[in-house]
Structure 1
């Protein structure tokens, strides 16, 4: 895999392919971060695919005066070629990512952003063509509500009642597309890629057989065992 937002350059595996591979490799959560959706450049549509190492940002409520503060603005600290991953405290009404941040992130060479919370300035995001994944939107800015605390620390994404919380470490790999967001532990990248290659070859054979008129039962028995 190579860091990309372009689906035209193989090998590039989908979030579904990666989740399946992680399950085969024994990860029961499949690295899946539920309830995060693509908002830009389009809403849950199009060919946007995001792959790259995570740059993590831990947000806290502004009322948390005990939490540390970064030496610089978290957007100014973005490493080139990274995927910005932001953990926002739950049940906050404000956005933690907006259009001005996207402009700076693009200049810094960010590949996209994953927000476990809210974003705003959708039209600006889409005009910029910047990949943005989030839970929801808001018209409220971050200032009165939240601030960045720690950078490049493990962040835990909000759990779904039916799915365990997923922790992202700096340097883990993010795969995100219209289907959702999945996290590959950095030490498993080669194994995941090998499993994806194997399983997608099987899926290609299944697809060809189904288009030729075979039944699901026959096709799966033949190629999936």
Structure 2
């Protein structure tokens, strides 16, 4: 599964969210409270874009949920972004340094977790893009396990914000500002809207740097 960068250049997550808002997509695909932890913490120019490979975690006490045929990291498609939904209120990490080592061999572009990760120094030494809500020193084994792979999952790291559903193959854009999900059937529309809005923003920036006011600039270019 190769990332489709020829269809959507690396627009920033903010540009994509603005485009989805303009297209009336509920919540603009924004997953709040997920941050870049590696290679740097909410800093630098790391940005990932690619199709989602989804993984749902369940508590180990759930004996009814199906078990995957193989470890979810071994099943990562090349060129994908691993999206992991972790049960809320658990203290363990569901992604660590050993998983990153295998994911890089598999050709993953990065990982997005709506829960916890660990082994930060190993992640950063590997230069692997990791987005998560928080960290933990606890391993996954006693707490969680993967169930069916590549099925629709929901992420809701902030209980006060509606959940976002991620379907396999939806596109993920993530950078220092945050994480946003593009429904796969809207990719071309989002690209067109991003192209239009970023051109306007470039005009605004030029005008503001020349000394024009916000009011005059927005009136002139944003209408």
In which range does the TM-score fall when normalised by the shorter chain? Answer: over 0.9
3-state DSSP of counterpart to 2:28: coil
With normalisation by structure 2, the TM-score equals 0.96
Cα shift readout 1:132-181 (whole Å, capped 9, x = no counterpart): 00000000000000000010000000153442110000000000000000
The number of aligned residues is 220
CA distance in 2 between counterparts of 1:144 and 1:150 reads 19
3-state DSSP of counterpart to 1:196: helix
Contact 1:3 1:50 in 2 (8 A): no
More deviation in 71-80 or 150-159? 150-159
Report the counterpart of residue 81 of structure 2 in structure 1: 83
**Which among 41, 61, 64 is matched to residue 62 of structure 2?**
64
Report the counterpart of residue 144 of structure 2 in structure 1: 146
Give unpaired runs (5+ residues) of structure 1: 5-9
CA distance in 1 between counterparts of 2:157 and 2:140 reads 22
C-alpha RMSD of matched pairs (Å): 1.3
CA distance in 1 between counterparts of 2:168 and 2:90 reads 24
3-state DSSP of counterpart to 1:73: coil
Contact 1:168 1:183 in 2 (8 A): yes
Contact 2:51 2:171 in 1 (8 A): yes
**Which among 12, 20, 26 is matched to residue 14 of structure 1?**
12
CA distance in 1 between counterparts of 2:160 and 2:218 reads 28
With normalisation by structure 1, the TM-score equals 0.95
Give unpaired runs (5+ residues) of structure 2: none
**Runs of 4+ deviating beyond 4 Å:** 1-4
CA distance in 1 between counterparts of 2:10 and 2:68 reads 34
3-state DSSP of counterpart to 1:208: helix
CA distance in 1 between counterparts of 2:9 and 2:5 reads 11
Report the counterpart of residue 118 of structure 2 in structure 1: 120
